[in-house]
Each structure stands twice: as structure tokens, then as C-alpha cells.
Amino acid sequence: MYRPIDLQSPLVAQWTGILLLVAGLAVIAHGMWRRRRYQQHRDLEDARYAGPDRLKDSVREILAGVGVAVIGLGAVAYAIFGTLNREEAIQDNVAQKYGVESVDGKQWEGNGLRADVTMPDGTVHQDVLITFEESGEPEISGDLNGNPGQ
């Protein structure tokens, strides 16, 4: 039985995490700017929120930004974990089916991976296209018993 390979979730988590992290940092910067402005009393005439709790309000904004940034960091961590897990599953599945020693992925083409494949005897087959079924089963186009580098 082959391990399933998740190609989509780590990428979605990566970009979602980056967007949330950038948004969180922007909110934190704005909250800090507001807090400093309120502490220096430079907002007496033009403040949108001139209530007595304006310093607390800016702290709430900073905390909201921290919360969004933490969620973003969590998504990026999930993406890193998912990518490492995917690479390990690819190595295991290809080794299980074809008995290769290592798979050095270069570029994804849809559900196919262009990679260099190293056999147990040290022979390296370059630019081999490995496609994956939904179950995680790999299919290598071409013959690994032929000439390397083809």
C-alpha cells in the first residue's frame, strides 16, 4: 500500500499563512503607530476615536494583529510539515515500487515530478518524469534499466 501524497494543501497553507502574516504585521504596525500618537497627544483635533479608552483600543488592535500573525505562522508551519511529509512519501513510494535509493525532485508538472533518480548501484537517471495516482502509486515514464541520463 502506498502512502497518499498531498500536493495541494501545503501550497494553500503556505500562501494563506504568508497573507495572514503580512496582514497581521500591518495591523500590529498600525496599532503601534496609533498608540504612540495617542501617548504623544498629537491626535486631539483629528482623531477618529477620541474616547477615553483610545490607548486600550490601540492595544486591542495590536493584540488582534498578533493573533492574525500567530495564525499565519501556524499555517506556514503546517505547510513546512506538509511539504516534508510529501517529500518523504514520494521517496518511500518510489523506493517501494522501483527499488530506487533516492529521488531528487527538480520541478513539478501538474501531478508529475521531474526528478533525478539514483539506483542502488549508484546509477543516476536524470530528468525522469514520475507521475502519481490518487492512491500515491508512482509511475515512471521510460525504463530505469536502460541508459542513465535519458
**What is the pLDDT confidence band of residue 75, given thresholds at 50, 70 and 90?**
very high
- Residue 113 covered by a domain: no
Beta strands 112-118; 102-109: pairing state: antiparallel
Range of the domain at 22: 9-87
Under 8 Å between Cβ of 111 and 131: yes
Reported residue count of the chain is 150
E strands in 2-142: 102-109, 112-118, 124-132, 138-140
Q: Kindly tell me if the per-residue pLDDT of 142 is higher than 80.
A: no
- Residue 46 covered by a domain: yes
- Residue 39 covered by a domain: yes
- Residue 146 covered by a domain: no
Domain count for the chain: 1
**What is the pLDDT confidence band of residue 150, given thresholds at 50, 70 and 90?**
very low
Query: Closest Cα to residue 130, out of 120, 140, 122, 142?
Result: 140
Under 8 Å between Cβ of 86 and 5: yes
Percentage with pLDDT > 70 across the chain: 87
- Residue 58 covered by a domain: yes
- Residue 20 covered by a domain: yes
Give mean pLDDT, residues 76-98.
94
For 47-67, how does the pLDDT look when each residue is reduced to its tens digit (9 = 90+)? 566 667 778 888 999 999 999
- Residue 41 covered by a domain: yes
- Residue 62 covered by a domain: yes
